[in-house]
Amino acid sequence: MATVAQTASGPCPFASGPERNDSKSAALAAQRVRIEEGAELVRAYEQARRVLLDKTLLQGGAGADSFDASDIDASPVFFLDGEPHRKKRGAIAHFFTPKAIDTRYHEIIERETERLLAQLRRDGRARLDVLSFELTVAVAGNIVGLTSSDVPAMAKRLATILSGAFAYQLGFFGRVAFGLRRAAAMVGFYLRDVRPAVRARRQRPQEDIISQMLERGASRKAILVECMTYAAAGMVTTREFIVMAAWHLLERPELLEGFLAADDKRQLAILLEILRLEPIASLLYRRSDPDQLSPRTKYALDLRAVLTDEDAVGSCPHALDPDRAERTKTHGALLSFGAGAHHCPGRHVALHEARVFLDAMLRLPGIALERPPDLGWSELLMSYELRDAVVSCDRDPSPRDSSGVRP
């Protein structure tokens, strides 16, 4: 297959014309993304990078503007800025290091991957969003300290709480029923997942977020808010990424072949290129400090435009090119995980679990995408949601070593 480097001066080599767009979510995002009134739209990569690295700007969007962060210990790190944010980020940084991935999370990822793929081999088919969410709930749950309950049951409760992209399709009574189910799931999450974890950490503290919060004297309400923040920012986003990456890989034989033949570094390059085209969050906001005398300013960073800025990513910016990072001599992540003080702390964990799971699943005999996912939109997170993708494989009623996980 031709590469961009071979024909950089000519038309995009990935399609019959220069306008090819390999993104599966771009059209929906173009219809549904809404910029907050009064915000200055940023679409250029370099300007977006400057905004994200500007230490005078504060976190914006997702309720950050109105969140009362006066009680620093009770406030999730997402909503903090300045010295309180630096201290809290510093306290959790060791949870997301390469060493933590190697010594703590890799074993969990392998174990859960083996369990989930054994289930897939036994049944012959499964919903990919369910499999991937159970994986990411197990991993992020270990970081947070939610380890005193059943992972599949907790994943179901969190999926109900955090789902809403397809609720608009329901009638009035359907929306009421959905709201009641969501409320019941939230109560169940607190009673069956959070409270047992808190009780266990009071008796025996561990190396996790809940134990840290208890040491600071945080309330159960604050702990619940923190758990939900990690669920929305970590568990959900990783689920969508795994499903989206599998969708691309299973629909493009040459891409799948290249992924399975690649080493870890090359596999990550492919995954990062998919993420560049399919950013989970479409918008990032930053705002000026309202306590300062300078005029109030708010920036809305259009990540889809930023990550397809030809000046930064090279030619054919809407094509999926696994060689892009090497060709442009850039890191494949670009600004997919943000930059500056509020960059995503769990990016390495998310990429590692996605790579390990996908590598193992895509090696199963007969693996295929039986049904592509439905594409929905979360107004709260300004992000896409992928539901009901079905993968199938050759059945093995009693698989002994079905994971295919590489050491």
Contacting residues for 130 by C-beta, under 8 A, at least 6 apart: 155, 159
Instruction: Tell whether the model's pLDDT for residue 3 goes beyond 50.
Output: no
Q: What is the pLDDT of residue 381?
A: 80
pLDDT at 249 over 70: yes
Span 220-231, average pLDDT:
91
pLDDT-derived band at 141, boundaries 50, 70, 90: very high
Best-predicted range by mean pLDDT among 50-64, 258-272, 318-332, 387-401? 258-272
Question: Residue 6: what pLDDT?
Answer: 32
Place of tokens 């939610």: 146
Q: pLDDT grade, residue 306 (50/70/90)?
A: very high
Q: What is the pLDDT of residue 167?
A: 55
pLDDT of residue 115: 97
Q: How confident is the model at residue 246 (pLDDT cuts 50, 70, 90)?
A: very high
The whole-number pLDDT of residue 67 equals 74
Quote the pLDDT of residue 172.
61
The residue that leads in pLDDT, 327 or 50, is 50
Question: What is the model's pLDDT at position 164?
Answer: 65
| Residue 168, pLDDT above cutoff 60 | no
Cα dihedral sign for 374, 377, 380, 381? positive
* Among 155, 165, 209, 230, CA closest to 185: 155
Check residues 392 and 84 and name the one with the higher pLDDT: 392
* pLDDT class of 163 with cuts at 50, 70, 90: confident
> Which tens digit of pLDDT belongs to each residue from 251-285?
999 999 999 999 999 999 999 999 999 999 999 99
- pLDDT of the residue at 371: 98
Q: Which residue has the higher pLDDT, 72 or 368?
A: 368
Degrees to nearest 5, angle at CA 312 with 308 and 313: 55
pLDDT at site 289: 84
Reported pTM: 0.90
pLDDT tier at 179 (50, 70, 90 boundaries)?
confident
pLDDT of 401 over the 70 cut: no
Q: What percent of the chain has pLDDT over 90?
A: 67
pLDDT at 18: 54
Residue 221 above 70 pLDDT?
A: yes
Report the CATH architecture of 23-65+78-392: Orthogonal Bundle (1.10)
Question: Given phi > 0 = left and psi -120 to 50 = alpha, else beta, which region is 381?
Answer: alpha
> In the predicted model, what is the mean pLDDT of the chain?
88
pLDDT of residue 397 exceeding 80? no
Sheet with 390-392, edge to edge strand ranges = 125-127, 390-392, 368-371
* Rounded percentage of the chain residues whose pLDDT exceeds 70: 88
Higher pLDDT, 178 or 10: 178
- Higher-pLDDT residue of 18, 397: 397
Residue 10 confidence (pLDDT): 39
Q: Is the pLDDT of residue 58 over 60?
A: yes
- The domains of the chain are located at 23-65+78-392
pLDDT at 407 over 70: no
